[in-house]
Amino acid sequence: MRIRMFDRKTNSRNYEQRAEPRYHISSMVTWRCGDEKFTGQALDIGRGGMRIMCHRKVPVREMVLLSTIGAIPINMSGQIKWASRVNGRYKFGVEFVAVTRDQLRYLEENCLDDLTEFV
């Protein structure tokens, strides 16, 4: 899947290769990083990962355990792949790791079923 993105700094279009489609979502998400528990807002989600916004800086390359999306318990591990600060808040991407077929099926049935893909 090709995703077109516009880079304001260089006024150019960039293309990103993404193996799985992403879906808009606006739901609270909770996760653990070490002994700390965090809450933020999920912005998009796919079979391979999700994008989250929160008020605290997150360390890139750290492993996290996602526990809920809204009222849905998910219990999936992921690694923070990138992070950026936007208007005093932090956005970051989590890549799911060590995901089982059962976890993917659960994710699709409970989180992705009614969502609309975006490009």
Q: What is the pLDDT along the chain (119 residues), one digit of tens a residue?
A: 334 444 445 554 544 556 778 888 888 999 999 889 999 999 998 889 999 999 999 999 999 999 988 888 988 999 999 999 989 999 999 999 988 999 888 888 887 776 656 54
Question: Which CATH number is 39's domain given?
Answer: 2.40.10.220
Judge whether 3 lies within some domain.
no
Res 50: pLDDT:
93
- The model scores a pTM over 0.85: no
Q: Residue 88 sits in which domain range?
A: 21-118
Res 70: pLDDT:
85
Judge whether 14 lies within some domain.
no
Judge whether 13 lies within some domain.
no
Per the structure, the count of domains in the chain is 1
Judge whether 104 lies within some domain.
yes
Res 92: pLDDT:
96
Cα distance between residue 31 and residue 41, in whole Å: 11
By the 8 A CB rule, do 59 and 36 touch?
no
Judge whether 77 lies within some domain.
yes
Judge whether 12 lies within some domain.
no
Judge whether 49 lies within some domain.
yes
Res 114: pLDDT:
66
Res 79: pLDDT:
96
Query: In sequence order, what DSSP letters do the residues of 21-42 get, joined into one string?
Result: -EEEEEEEEEEEETTEEEEEEE
